[in-house]
Structure 1
Amino acid sequence: MSFLGNTSSTSNTSSAATGQELLNDITINNPPEDSIEDLSFSPQQDLLAVASWDKKVRIYEIDPNTGNNQGKALYEHNAPVFSSRWSLDGTKVISGGADNQVKIFDLASQQQQQIGQHDAPVRSVRYVECGPTNTPVVASGSWDKTLKYWDMRTPNPVSTINLPERCYSMDASQKLLVVGCADRHISIIDLNNPQQIFKTSQSPLKWQTRVISCYPQANGFAIGSIEGRCAIQYITESEQKKFGFSFKCHRKSGPTTNSRTSSAGESQAYPVNAISFHPIFGTFSTAGSDGTFCFWDKDAKQRLKSFPELPGTISATAFNKNGSIFAYAVSYDWSLGYMGNRPDYPNFIKLHAIKEAEIKQKNKR
C-alpha cells in the first residue's frame, strides 16, 4: 500500500515529465534549519535519518500507508553534519561531520556517543561488515585523506587506510566499499580484506567526483560528477569492458547563469549530487543542481522516467527498505559557493510514492 494509491500500477508512464508527478508528494514536517546533506532510510522500518548543516541529525518516523510523518529523535554535532547512516539492524544511527567526529546514536536509549575522530572533516560514514566473520564496524572517510574503521567499543580505530586524496564520497554494498577522492581518484576495497585497498583507478569522467553509489549486487558502482555526467563502472575488467559506459544527465540547453559556464548554444551542465539504487529492481535515480531527478535502467542503458523541475537544487535522495518511497531534499548544495546561498533558499524534504511503472525495468524489446 502507498500514500499515492497502488504501487503496482503497470500503466505505461512515458519517460517525459508531465508536471503532475510530484503533486501528491508528502512534505516532511519540521525539516532542518539549514542545508540538507544526507538522507538515509533504516533497513528495518520506515525511519528516515537526515544530516544537516544546522549541526543536527534528525530521525523521522513515516507511515508508509499515508505518508504522515513526525520527528522521533534528534542529536547534535559541534559543526555541520555531512553524513548519516543506519546500522544493519536499524537500532543505531552513525554520523560524521565538520567537527571531525564520528558519532553513534542509540535509538532505544536516545543516547549518543563519539566513537571516532579524524584530523579534518568527516565526509562520509558507512556501517559495514568485515572479514569472513562479518564483524560490524563503522567506516569513515575524511578530508584528512584517511579511511578509518571503528568497532564502537574502543576509542582508537581498528584500522586506518591512507587514501590518495581527500574523501569526497563513499559507499558500500555487501563486501564492496568504494571511496571517491579529490583529483578523480577512486579507491576500491574488498571488505573481506578491509585493511588494504584492493584496486585504485581514475574516474572515467573528466571533472570532480561528486557522488559514488554501489550497486545492490556489489559488482560495481556509479559515479556522478560536477559536469552532469554519470559513469557506470564494474569491478572486474571483463564486466567493465562489456557493460561499462558513461552518459550525460542534468543538462539544460541554452545559456543560463546557474551552472558550469559554456558558450551560447551549448548545453549547461549541472553537478550530479545524488545517486540512489532501488533495493528491489536495481534501477537507480540521479538528482542534480538543475533541480531535477530521473530514474534509469543501467542494464538497458535507458532513462525510465524524468520528473518536473523543483524550485532549488536537489542535495540528497534515498529509497526506503522496499523501494516504495523515494525521499528527496531540495536544499542549497553549495555548488556555487557561499555566493549562491540566500536566506529564502528552499529547504525541504519530500516523499514520493513510487509507482512500479516509473522504476521497474521495461520489458526487453
Structure 2
Amino acid sequence: MAPATQFELAQPPNDAISSLVFAPQRSTRLLVSSWDKNVYLYDTHTDGADGHGTLVKSYEYRAPVMDVCFGADDNEAFTAGMDWQVLRVDLDSGAQMVISKHKAPVRRVVYSREHSLLISASWDSTLHVCNPSQPSLNPLIITLPGKPHAMAASPSKVIIAMTSRLVHIYDLSTLASSLSTQSSEPPQPWQQRESSLKFLTRAVAAMPSDAGYATSSIEGRVAVEWFDASAESQARKYAFKCHRQTSADGTDVVYPVNALAFHPTFGTFASGGGDTTVALWDAEAKRRMKVYQKFADSVAALAFSSDGRYLAVGVCPGFETGMEDYSGEGRTKIIIRELGETEAKGKGPK
C-alpha cells in the first residue's frame, strides 16, 4: 500500500479562503474561493515551475467570494458573493452570468446534480432556488426565520443552519416541483429542528448515504444527527467536544470548528478548527480516528475528492486572536493530502 503523502499547492490565494471544492468527475480539479475577490482553479497533480500543482486559471469578481460549487459538470461553477449576486462561471472561457440577485451578501451556494437545482442562502434571510438549465423560470424565493450561516445538500435534502439555533431541512424534489410549477406558495420545510449545539453553527456537512448530517459550532463542538424522525433514530444523535487545547495554566481553550467534510465512500468525516488541526471521525462508532499534525494557521475549509483519494485543507489566519491588522497574504495555504488506502475507513462499531 502506498503511504499517504501531503504537499502545498503553488500560487495560493492572497487572502483568507472561504471555501474549496473538488470537481464531480476529475479528482485533481479543485476550486477555491477567497476574500481576495477571486476564485482559483487548480490541477492539484500537474506540477508547474512554481512547485506542486498548477494554477489553471483565476476568475476575478467585484467583491469577496463567500462560496463556490461545481455545477452539472467539471466546467461549470457557481459563486456566492459579498456583492449580493449568485454567478455562473464557464471555467473554460471564464464567462460569467448572473443567475440570481439577493438583497444582502450571499453566504452559501449548493448545486444538486440529482435535481438540477441551484440553491443560494443569503444574509437577507432568504433562499433562492433556480434551475440554471431553465433560465426562463423565475427563482423560487423562500423567506427564512433567521440569518443563514451554513448549508449543505445530500442527494435528497438541503440543510440550512441559521441564527437562534434554527435548522431547516427541505426536500429537494419538493423544491424542484415548486420551481417548475412556479408555485405562488413557498414550500414548507420538510423538517424544522433546533440545533443540538448551544452556540452559533459554523459548518454543516451532509452524509453521502443520505441518512443525516453533521454540524459544528464556534464553541468547539460537533453534532451528528439523522433525518429519520422516529424516536429510535433520534435517540442515536449525539454531540461531542473537539478542537480544544489545554493552556499552560490548565485552562481549557476552546476554538471554533470551521469546517466539516464527509468522505464519499466510507462515511467518516473530517473536521477542521481554529486550533490549526484536522481530525478524522467515525460517525457510526462515535470515535476519533486520527488527528493530523498542526498546521501553521487556522483551518478554514475542507473537501474530499469525489473518489475519496484526496483531502484538501484550506489554511489561513483566523480571527481567534482578534481582527486587528488582519492579513492572509503570504500565510494562506492549500494543503493536499493523498490518503492511504484505509486511512479514512471507519474502525467498526464502538
Aligned position for 2:103: 119
Establish whether residue 267 from structure 1 lines up as the match of residue 252 from structure 2: yes
Aligned partner of 2:190 in structure 1 is: 198
- Give the secondary-structure state (helix, strand or coil) at the position aligned to 1:304: strand
Q: 1:163 aligns with which of 133, 137, 144?
A: 144
Match of 1:40 in 2: 21
SS at structure 1 position matched to 2:103: coil
- CA pair 342-202 structure 1, distance change in 2 beyond 3 A: same
Structure 1 residues 98, 334: CA separation in 2 closer, same or farther (over 3 Å shift)? Answer: farther
Local SS of the residue matching 1:49: strand
2:118 aligns with 138
Look up the match of 1:285: 270
Letter in 2 for 1:251: R
1:250 aligns with 2:231: no
Unaligned runs of 5+ in 2: 176-186
* Alpha carbons 1:81, 1:98 under 8 Å: kept: yes
Q: 1:73: Cα distance to partner? A: 2.2
Q: Relative to 1, partners in 2 of residues 1:116 and 1:60: Cα closer, same or farther, differing over 3 Å? A: same
Aligned pair in 2 of structure 1 residues 135, 248: CA closer, same or farther (>3 Å)? closer
- Tell me the alpha carbon deviations over residues 234-258 of structure 1, each in whole angstroms, 9 at most, x when there is no partner: 1122354342101111000136xxx
**Contact between 1:151 and 1:157, CA under 8 Å: does it hold in 2?**
no
Unaligned runs of at least 5 residues, structure 1: 8-20, 256-263
Amino acid of the structure 2 residue aligned with 1:48: L
| Offset of residue 199 of structure 1 | 1.3
Segments of 4+ moved more than 6 angstroms: 64-67
SS at match of 1:115: strand
Instruction: Confirm or deny that 1:346 pairs with 2:327.
Output: no
Q: How many residue pairs were aligned? A: 334
The 5-angstrom pairing of residues 212-231 of structure 1 reads: 212-231=204-223
**With structure 1 as the length reference, what TM-score do the two structures score?**
0.86
Q: 2-side partners of 1:72 and 1:136: how far apart?
A: 26
- Match of 1:323, SS? coil
Q: Which amino acid aligns with 2:53?
A: N
Partner of 1:259: none
Look up the SS of the partner of 1:309 in the other structure.
coil
Cα deviation 1:116-170 (Å, max 9, x = unaligned): 11101100000125xxxx5412100010000101223538742011111111010
- Supply the distance in 2 between the matched residues of 1:254 and 1:226 (Cα, whole angstroms): 19
Residues 274 and 343 (structure 1 numbering): CA distance in 2 closer, same or farther, change over 3 Å?
A: closer
Query: Contact 2:100 / 2:139 at 8 angstroms: preserved in 1?
Result: no
The superposition leaves residues 187-210 of structure 1 with CA deviations (integer Å, 9 ceiling, x where unpaired) of 111111123311111111111100
Structure 2: distance between partners of 1:362 and 1:65: 35
Query: What displacement does 1:68 show?
Result: 4.2
1:295 equivalent in alignment to 2:280: yes
SS in 2 for 1:206: coil
Moved more, 209-218 or 344-353: 344-353
- Distance, in Å, in 2 between the alignment partners of 1:337 and 1:193 is 43
Structure 1 Cα separation of the partners of residues 18 and 125 of structure 2: 20
Instruction: Provide closer, same or farther for how the CA distance between residues 303 and 161 of structure 1 changes in structure 2, counting only shifts above 3 A.
Output: same
Moved more, 344-353 or 150-159: 150-159
Structure-2 separation of matches of 1:155 and 1:289 = 43
How big is the shift at 1:80? 0.7
Q: Quote the residue 1:86 is aligned against.
A: 70
Mapped partners of 1:170, 1:234: distance in 2 = 16
**Cα distance per residue 1:278-304 (max 9 Å; x no partner):** 011010000000000000101011111
* Residue in structure 2 matching 1:50, options 32, 48, 51: 32
CA shift in 2, pair 1:233/1:344, >3 Å: same
Shift in Å, 1:277: 0.4
Residue 65 of structure 2 contacts residue 80 of structure 2 at CA under 8 Å; is this kept in 1? yes
Distance 1:360 1:272 in 2: 22
| Distance in structure 2 (CA, Å) of the matches to 1:314 and 1:355 | 21
Moved more, 200-209 or 102-111: 102-111
Q: Deviations over 1:293-352 (max 9, x none)?
A: 000101011111111111110100111111111110111233455227246672110101
SS state of the match for residue 338, structure 1?
Answer: coil
CA contact (8 A) 1:116 1:156 kept: no
Alpha-carbon distance in structure 2 between the residues aligned to 1:215 and 1:64: 30
Cα distance in 2 between the residues matched to 1:279 and 1:237: 24
Identity of aligned residues (%): 33
Evaluate the alpha carbon distance shift between residue 269 and residue 29 of structure 1 in structure 2; reply closer, same or farther with a 3 A threshold: same
**Contact persistence 2:47–2:54 (CA under 8 A):** no
Offset of residue 220 of structure 1: 0.8
